[in-house]
Chains A and B, each alone.
Chain A
Amino acid sequence: MRKILILLVLSLVVAVGSAQAAEKKMKVGFVYVSPVGDAGYSYAHDLGRQAIEALPNVEVKYLESVNEGADSERVFLNMARKKYDLIFGTSFGYMDPMLKTAKRFPHTVFMHCSGYKSSKNMGNYFGRMYQARYLSGMVAGAMTKSNVLGYVAAFPIPEVIRGINAFALGAQAVNPKAEVRVVWTKTWYDPAKEKEGAKSLLDVGADVIAQHQDSPGPQEAAQERGVYSIGYNTDMSQFAPKAHLVAPIWNWAPYYMEVLNSVKDGTWKAGSTWNGLAEGVVDLSPMGAMVPEAVKATVMARREEIKTGSYVVFGGPVLDQAGTVRLTAATPDDIDLLSMDWFVKGVIGTTE
Chain B
Amino acid sequence: MDTQITGKMLDLTIRKRQESLKGTAALIYCGAVLFSLLLSAALLIFQGNSPVEGISLLLQGAFGSMYAIEDCLIKAVPIYLCSLGVAIAFRLQIWNIGAEGQFALGAIGATWVAISFPGLPSWAMIPLMMGAAFLLGGAWGVIPAILKLKMKANEIIVTLMLNYIAILILDYLVYGPWKASDSYGFPMTDEFSSAAIIGTIGETSLNWGLLICLLSGIVIYIFFKFTVMGFELKASGENVRAARYAGFPYARLVIISMLLSGAFAGWAGFVEASATLNRLQPTIMVGYGYTAIVVAWLARLNPFYIGISSFLLAGLRVGAENLQLELQVPAAFGDIMEGMILLTILAATFFIHYRFARRQRS
Mark out the residues of chain B between 62 and 121 whose CB falls within 8 Å of any chain A CB in the assembled complex: 67, 71, 74-75
- Least Cβ–Cβ distance between A174 and chain B, in angstroms: 29
Q: Is the CB of A35 within 8 A of B176?
A: no
Q: When A68-B283, A338-B184, A339-B185 are in contact, do A74 and B74 touch as well, CB less than 8 Å?
A: yes
CA A141 to CA B324, docked complex, whole Å: 45
Interface check A220, CB cutoff 8 A: no
Interface check B328, CB cutoff 8 A: yes
Give the chain A neighbours of B277 by CB distance below 8 A: 69-70, 96
Give the chain A neighbours of B176 by CB distance below 8 A: 352
Q: Is the CB of B328 within 8 A of A62?
A: yes
Q: Is the CB of A158 within 8 A of B332?
A: no
- Least Cβ–Cβ distance between A329 and chain B, in angstroms: 19
Contact among A65, A81, A186 for B67, CB-based, below 8 A: A81
Give 21 A-B contacts (CB < 8 Å), ordered by A residue: A29-B325, A61-B325, A61-B328, A62-B328, A63-B321, A69-B277, A69-B286, A70-B277, A71-B75, A73-B276, A74-B75, A74-B321, A78-B67, A78-B322, A79-B325, A93-B283, A96-B278, A156-B175, A157-B185, A341-B185, A352-B176
Mark out the residues of chain A between 293 and 314 whose CB falls within 8 Å of any chain B CB in the assembled complex: none
Give 1 or 0 for each of B182-199: 1 = CB within 8 Å of chain A CB.
001111000000000000
- Least Cβ–Cβ distance between A271 and chain B, in angstroms: 17
Q: When A69-B276, A70-B75 are in contact, do A158 and B185 touch as well, CB less than 8 Å?
A: yes
CA A81 to CA B71, docked complex, whole Å: 13
Q: Is the CB of B331 within 8 A of A64?
A: yes
Q: Is the CB of A71 within 8 A of B185?
A: no
Interface check A105, CB cutoff 8 A: no
Q: Is the CB of A155 within 8 A of B74?
A: no
Q: Is the CB of A75 within 8 A of B321?
A: yes
Mark out the residues of chain B between 313 and 329 whose CB falls within 8 Å of any chain A CB in the assembled complex: 318, 321-322, 324-326, 328
Number of inter-chain CB pairs below 8 Å: 79
Interface check A67, CB cutoff 8 A: yes
Mark out the residues of chain B between 1 and 43 whose CB falls within 8 Å of any chain A CB in the assembled complex: none
- Least Cβ–Cβ distance between A218 and chain B, in angstroms: 22
- Least Cβ–Cβ distance between A28 and chain B, in angstroms: 12
- Least Cβ–Cβ distance between B318 and chain A, in angstroms: 7
Give 1 or 0 for each of B295-328: 1 = CB within 8 Å of chain A CB.
0000000000000000000000010011011101
Give the chain B neighbours of A29 by CB distance below 8 A: 325
CA A68 to CA B282, docked complex, whole Å: 10
What 18 additional pairs, Cβ within 8 angstroms, besides A65-B332, A116-B184? A35-B332, A37-B330, A61-B325, A62-B328, A67-B286, A69-B272, A69-B277, A69-B283, A70-B272, A73-B276, A78-B322, A78-B325, A96-B277, A156-B175, A157-B186, A186-B171, A340-B185, A341-B185
Main secondary structure of the interface of A (DSSP, over half): mixed
- Least Cβ–Cβ distance between A157 and chain B, in angstroms: 6
Q: Which residues in A have some Cβ–Cβ distance to B below 8 Å?
A: 29, 35-37, 61-71, 73-75, 77-79, 81, 92-93, 96, 116, 155-158, 161, 186, 338-341, 352
Give the chain B neighbours of A155 by CB distance below 8 A: 187
Give the chain B neighbours of A64 by CB distance below 8 A: 324, 330-331
Residue of B nearest to A162 (CB): B185
Q: Is the CB of A158 within 8 A of B328?
A: no
- Least Cβ–Cβ distance between A58 and chain B, in angstroms: 15
CA A65 to CA B272, docked complex, whole Å: 20
Q: Is the CB of B325 within 8 A of A63?
A: yes
Q: Is the CB of B175 within 8 A of A70?
A: no
Q: Is the CB of A70 within 8 A of B331?
A: no
- Least Cβ–Cβ distance between B230 and chain A, in angstroms: 33
Residue of A nearest to B284 (CB): A69
CA A67 to CA B318, docked complex, whole Å: 12
Residue of A nearest to B318 (CB): A74
Interface check B281, CB cutoff 8 A: yes
Q: When A67-B283, A96-B278, A157-B186 are in contact, do A74 and B328 touch as well, CB less than 8 Å?
A: no
- Least Cβ–Cβ distance between A164 and chain B, in angstroms: 13
Q: Is the CB of A74 within 8 A of B71?
A: yes
- Least Cβ–Cβ distance between B21 and chain A, in angstroms: 37
CA A75 to CA B184, docked complex, whole Å: 26
Q: Which 9 A-B pairs have the closest CB atoms?
A: A65-B331, A68-B283, A70-B276, A341-B185, A158-B185, A339-B184, A93-B283, A69-B283, A64-B331
Give the chain B neighbours of A36 by CB distance below 8 A: 330
CA A186 to CA B184, docked complex, whole Å: 19
- Least Cβ–Cβ distance between A43 and chain B, in angstroms: 13
Give the chain A neighbours of B185 by CB distance below 8 A: 157-158, 161, 339-341
Contact among B175, B186, B283, B326 for A158, CB-based, below 8 A: B186
CA A111 to CA B62, docked complex, whole Å: 26
Q: When A75-B321, A81-B67, A92-B186 are in contact, do A35 and B286 touch as well, CB less than 8 Å?
A: no
CA A161 to CA B187, docked complex, whole Å: 13
CA A87 to CA B283, docked complex, whole Å: 21
CA A341 to CA B183, docked complex, whole Å: 11
Residue of B nearest to A73 (CB): B276
Residue of A nearest to B78 (CB): A70
Give the chain A neighbours of B171 by CB distance below 8 A: 186
CA A193 to CA B207, docked complex, whole Å: 38
CA A316 to CA B222, docked complex, whole Å: 69
Give the chain B neighbours of A74 by CB distance below 8 A: 71, 74-75, 318, 321
- Least Cβ–Cβ distance between B334 and chain A, in angstroms: 9
CA A61 to CA B276, docked complex, whole Å: 26
CA A81 to CA B283, docked complex, whole Å: 25
CA A190 to CA B89, docked complex, whole Å: 32
Q: Is the CB of B286 within 8 A of A71?
A: yes
CA A93 to CA B280, docked complex, whole Å: 12
- Least Cβ–Cβ distance between A280 and chain B, in angstroms: 25
CA A233 to CA B301, docked complex, whole Å: 46
Mark out the residues of chain B between 325 and 362 whose CB falls within 8 Å of any chain A CB in the assembled complex: 325-326, 328, 330-332
Q: When A67-B286, A352-B176 are in contact, do A93 and B276 touch as well, CB less than 8 Å?
A: no
- Least Cβ–Cβ distance between B256 and chain A, in angstroms: 31
Q: Is the CB of A35 within 8 A of B330?
A: yes
Q: Which of B176, B184, B284, B321 has the most CB of A within 10 A?
A: B184
Q: When A71-B286, A339-B184 are in contact, do A93 and B281 touch as well, CB less than 8 Å?
A: yes
